[in-house]
Amino acid sequence: MSKVKIANRKYSSKLLRKVMNFFPPLLVNRIKIVENDSDFMNLKVEVKYSWLNKNLQKSIFGGTIFSAIDPYYAVMYWQIFSTKGIPMEVWIKKVEIRYRKAATSNLKIAFSLTENDIKNAIASLKSDVKYEVWHDVNAIDESQEVCTEARVLVHIRNTKKHDLNIF
């Protein structure tokens, strides 16, 4: 069995946005990154209300909303660490989601990290191989009402034991 290597590459924010927007599971569900900054600290996603993601009650499928929340914090952390030259294994360990209101229009979801989030991760990873942190995020409809609340547990692992004392 061959071992799969994860590419130690730095992607521009523009390229990452294009790749994610054409990723089939997101594309079919009408999930799109509409805004991001060059340092991957802020990202805005939109879920377009469409016949492709509408259920029998004429609201957006819960699975579509979940798909719009799931990948982005992991991608953001992974990109931030990669641009600092310290590739990490980053994934979403758990998502707690609460659907508050049926989503019957486009949804906007804003993901953001702070410098403090990155500093806390680096500080923890200096003494431990793994770090886990919760982030809260909301899906907001066109009338500015919260349709979905979610808590995302991000798992970061320094599997190669990169020296983080330079930070």
Residue 165 pLDDT level (bands cut at 50, 70, 90): low
Residue 14 pLDDT level (bands cut at 50, 70, 90): confident
Higher pLDDT, 150 or 82: 150
105-141 pLDDT per residue, tens: 999 999 999 999 999 998 898 888 899 999 999 999 9
Q: Which residues is 136 bridged to in the sheet?
A: 151
pLDDT recorded at residue 21: 87
24-39 pLDDT per residue, tens: 888 999 999 999 988 8
Residue 16 pLDDT level (bands cut at 50, 70, 90): confident
149-158 pLDDT per residue, tens: 999 999 999 8
Q: What is the DSSP letter of 60?
A: B
pTM: 0.86
Taken in order of first residue, the domains within the chain and their CATH numbers are 13-157 (3.10.129.10)
